[in-house]
Amino acid sequence: MDKSFSKSLAQFDRQFFTGREKFTLIGRGGLGGKAHGLAAMEDILEQQLGGRFAPDIQVVIPTLTVITTDFFDFFMKDNRLYDIALSEARDDLIAQAFQKAELPAPLVGDLRALISQVHTPLAVRSSSMLEDAMFEPFASVYATKMIPNNQWDADTRFRKLTEAVKYVYASTFFKDARNYMRATKHTTADEKMAVIIQEVVGVRYGDRFYPHISGVARSHNFYPLGHAKPGQGVVDLALGLGKSIVDDGIGWTFSPAYPQANPPYISIRDLLEQSQTSFWAINMGSPGEYNPIQETEYMLKFNLTDAERDGSLRFIASTYRPEDDKIVFGMAEPGPRIIDFAPLLKLELIPFNKMLRALLKICEERLERMVEIEFAMTLDEKRGKPGRFGFLQVRPMVVSDAKVDVSLAELVGEHVLVASESVLGNGILDDIQDIVYVKPEKFSPNQTQTIAGQLEELNQKLAASHVPYLLIGFGRWGSTDPLGGIPVNFGQICGAKAIVESTLPEMNFMLSQGSHFFHNITSFRVLYFSVPHWEKYMIDWPWLGRQRAVAETELVRHVKLPAPLKIKVDGTTSRGVIYHA
């Protein structure tokens, strides 16, 4: 990231909330990409918004301090951790070794001072140097750990904080990260990690702490909805912590150009089923199983009924009225609740959508490219306003601007292997001779985890030899539910330069991904085709079956073609086609 973005940041003065500066550093090393992005935005948000959007929304970067990368170097070197870190050891063994190691002496005093005065939940986030150096936004590759930080004694809080910092350090070398690195020109040995310790935006309700709204807003939409155009962006909102959106892929999606439009649905009941039914919160009550090497150690999933009891749905939910199959704004009537954020988006209780549009514009201007932002917000519990909007992260989006035309006529023909009118990305590939595909005749939703393992093995070989390939499978790629698709993370298929997701008639999958999976696909310019069986375009399975296999298992086949494929994706029309010779 351009160093000119970074201003001179203050050193942490051992006053987290009460200090003069709300964005401080511990150490004199690098900030890493995430922290750098926030540093770039801090001044500009203050200058352009003065900390507020309209009278009703306070806009802040939640208080944070960054442990700079020099401490990561000391930690790794002094504890001689590189041997295990760069080995092929299991994640849990690496994490254990890191937990046993000691944090550098000049750091622990600051952490101790910080924790002594802070009793609210903290997010301990990774901020990677390679993200920064490459201007390459990594998403969900490294760990974030939320800690409740509400134990009565400072010793326990301190211990939990240091465990979280060590866990984030360890995640630099986890298998996912190693796999992910294979898709870049770097290795994990090049990586250095800064750590962000940040206030969590939210409200405590008994044993739960969560924001009323969390969200991801992008200034470019690869899957435009209704009348919206790709350049008009897209927003995903959810109740509770952002994990629902970024990892589970569940939330309320709308275009900032049409905030009142619902996401596409077949029936009201269908909309109800698609929308959020549970949410993530930080567990402030009895601790679960002690497990410092688990990212969700202090996170729990709750039902909407819990949120309704908390009173946190009041300004974000509507009600389904089954007798006339309608959705009624608000919660005046009893009935199933739907998290559609109608009071904000449709009744404009506060200028929420206007603010998001303004923020996207400000970020685009600052970073000089399309952006993705993550945020969390709380609303006044009685009146819904004012609200406190926490700006959590900004990432540049990688969008190809190559001019590619794919006409309708091109989608059919003798040499068409795959065609689709629902394609992600933009560009042309003509150097792919390898195809890895899940055999349609053998596929079963019960075997998706086995398939994921076999794909990972093939990917490791192909990625290590720098052989790009086309990947074809069924259901949602990156699904967290093994019955909903093939549960890979991006690192497990990172060598694929084009991906096809399809369905079979006996399946009933919704084709979509968690936003981090989606983000990585677009960041690495992977072309992504959706080919559901109910659409008119099909995959030419017979042709594929005739090609020479170089590797084959019962479920997966790897074929090598004598001549490269030609893959064309037109991002403006979402049309794409793959030709074989």
Q: Is 300 in the site for another protein (CB under 8 A)?
A: no
Which CB, 13 or 410, lies closer to another protein? 13
Pairing label, strands 371-379, 52-53: unpaired
Q: Is 332 in the site for another protein (CB under 8 A)?
A: no
DSSP calls for 379-430 = E-TTTS-SEEEEEEEEEE-----------GGGG-STTEEEEESSEES-EEEE
Q: How far is the CB of 75 from another protein (least distance, A)?
A: 11
Cα distance between residue 164 and residue 158, in whole Å:
10
Tokens of 521: 């696909």
CA 564 to chain centre: 33
Q: How far is the CB of 118 from another protein (least distance, A)?
A: 14
Restricting to residues 114-143, which ones interact with another protein according to CB under 8 A?
116
Q: How far is the CB of 430 from another protein (least distance, A)?
A: 52
Which CB, 111 or 399, lies closer to another protein? 111
User: Coil, strand or helix: which one is 302?
Assistant: strand
Restricting to residues 13-32, which ones interact with another protein according to CB under 8 A?
14, 28
Residues with Cβ < 8 Å from 339, sequence gap 6 or more? Answer: 237, 238, 239, 252, 275, 276, 304, 313, 316, 317
- Which of 51, 55, 109, 231 touches another protein (CB under 8 A)? 109
Restricting to residues 160-199, which ones interact with another protein according to CB under 8 A?
162
| Element holding 543 (H helix, E strand) | helix 541-546
Contact window for another protein (CB under 8 A) among 96-104, 192-200, 458-466, 525-533: 96-104
- Which of 111, 118, 345, 379 touches another protein (CB under 8 A)? 111
Q: How far is the CB of 200 from another protein (least distance, A)?
A: 22
Q: How far is the CB of 524 from another protein (least distance, A)?
A: 37
- Which of 52, 112, 301, 369 touches another protein (CB under 8 A)? 112
- Which of 9, 108, 398, 404 touches another protein (CB under 8 A)? 108
Contact window for another protein (CB under 8 A) among 15-23, 110-118, 227-235, 524-532: 110-118
State the number of binding residues for another protein (CB under 8 A).
Answer: 19
Q: How far is the CB of 109 from another protein (least distance, A)?
A: 2
Q: How far is the CB of 555 from another protein (least distance, A)?
A: 46
Q: How far is the CB of 139 from another protein (least distance, A)?
A: 30
Q: Is 270 in the site for another protein (CB under 8 A)?
A: no
Tokens of 449: 């985890």
User: Coil, strand or helix: which one is 456?
Assistant: helix
- Which of 12, 98, 158, 389 touches another protein (CB under 8 A)? 158
Which CB, 73 or 481, lies closer to another protein? 73
Which CB, 21 or 410, lies closer to another protein? 21
Output 271-278 pairs: Cβ under 8 A, ≥24 positions apart.
Answer: 271/327, 271/338, 272/320, 272/336, 272/338, 274/510, 275/250, 275/338, 275/339, 275/340, 276/238, 276/239, 276/244, 276/250, 276/251, 276/252, 276/304, 276/339, 277/303, 277/304, 278/244, 278/302, 278/303, 278/304
Q: How far is the CB of 113 from another protein (least distance, A)?
A: 5
Cα distance between residue 337 and residue 328, in whole Å:
10
Restricting to residues 378-437, which ones interact with another protein according to CB under 8 A?
none
Which residue type is seen at 95? A
Which CB, 110 or 340, lies closer to another protein? 110
Q: How far is the CB of 32 from another protein (least distance, A)?
A: 20
Q: How far is the CB of 284 from another protein (least distance, A)?
A: 23
Q: How far is the CB of 78 from another protein (least distance, A)?
A: 8
Q: Is 354 in the site for another protein (CB under 8 A)?
A: no
- Which of 43, 102, 365, 431 touches another protein (CB under 8 A)? 102
Q: How far is the CB of 165 from another protein (least distance, A)?
A: 9
Where b means 16+ CB within 10 Å and e means fewer, 463-484 reads: beeeebbbbbbbbbbbbbebeb
Quick count: other Cβ atoms within 10 Å of Cβ 561?
17
Which CB, 10 or 203, lies closer to another protein? 10
Cα distance between residue 235 and residue 356, in whole Å:
9
For 109-161, what is the HEC assignment?
A: HHHHHHHHHCCCCEEEEEEEHHHHHHCCCCCCCCCEEEECCCCCCHHHHHHHH
Burial (0-12, 13-18, 19+ Cβ within 10 Å), 6: middle
Cα distance between residue 317 and residue 342, in whole Å:
6
Cα distance between residue 34 and residue 276, in whole Å:
28
Which of 307, 250, 237 has the alpha carbon at shortest distance from 517? Answer: 250
Which CB, 147 or 472, lies closer to another protein? 147
Cα distance between residue 577 and residue 581, in whole Å:
13
Contact window for another protein (CB under 8 A) among 101-109, 239-247, 490-498, 568-576: 101-109
CA 205 to chain centre: 26
Q: Is 297 in the site for another protein (CB under 8 A)?
A: no
- Which of 106, 206, 226, 311 touches another protein (CB under 8 A)? 106
Q: What is the DSSP code (8-state) at residue 193?
A: E
Contact window for another protein (CB under 8 A) among 112-120, 246-254, 415-423, 523-531: 112-120
Q: How far is the CB of 119 from another protein (least distance, A)?
A: 17
**What x/- string results for residues 63 through 82 when contact with another protein is judged by CB under 8 A?**
-----------x--------
What counts of helices (H) and strands (E) characterise the chain? Answer: 16, 29
Which CB, 28 or 461, lies closer to another protein? 28
Contact window for another protein (CB under 8 A) among 103-111, 134-142, 354-362, 548-556: 103-111
Name the residues that contact another protein, by CB under 8 A: 14, 28, 74, 102-106, 108-113, 116, 155, 158-159, 162
